[in-house]
Amino acid sequence: MELQLCQIQSKIHEIRGQQVMLDSDLAALYDVETKRLKEQVKRNIDRFPPDFMFELTREESFTEHGVVMLSSVINSQLGFIAIRETRLKNESENEIKESEEKVNNKK
């Protein structure tokens, strides 16, 4: 489980100020072809508002809300693991920033 969380965390990128996962990485996570993942999104496009995903030049990128929605249309719990890992990463980063600010304010 720990290895899987690390693998998921390495697939989370910050693009345009949002934490995202690429469609190819999500397809691998859900053990489906990227083509199938995109088909499911197209079939359920009303469940993916613009803030759930956006298109890059050559790949689609899903926000954390989009990953949760993918879990429901692909019938998998793995997306929830990815979201949990994203939140833990954000919390750790925020704690580090707060600690740095406290140290800098004491100087």
pLDDT in tens for each of the 107 residues of the chain? Answer: 555 777 888 888 888 788 888 888 888 888 899 999 989 989 999 998 888 888 776 555 777 777 777 777 776 655 555 656 666 666 766 677 776 677 677 65
Q: What are phi and psi of 44, to 5 degrees?
A: -120, 30
Q: Any idea what DSSP says for residue 58?
A: S
| Structure-block tokens of residue 77 | 């719990």
Domain edges within the chain: 2-106
The tokens of 45 are what? 């496009």
Q: Is the pTM of this model over 0.75?
A: no
pLDDT score of 77 = 55
Other Cβ atoms within 10 Å of 44 Cβ, number: 14
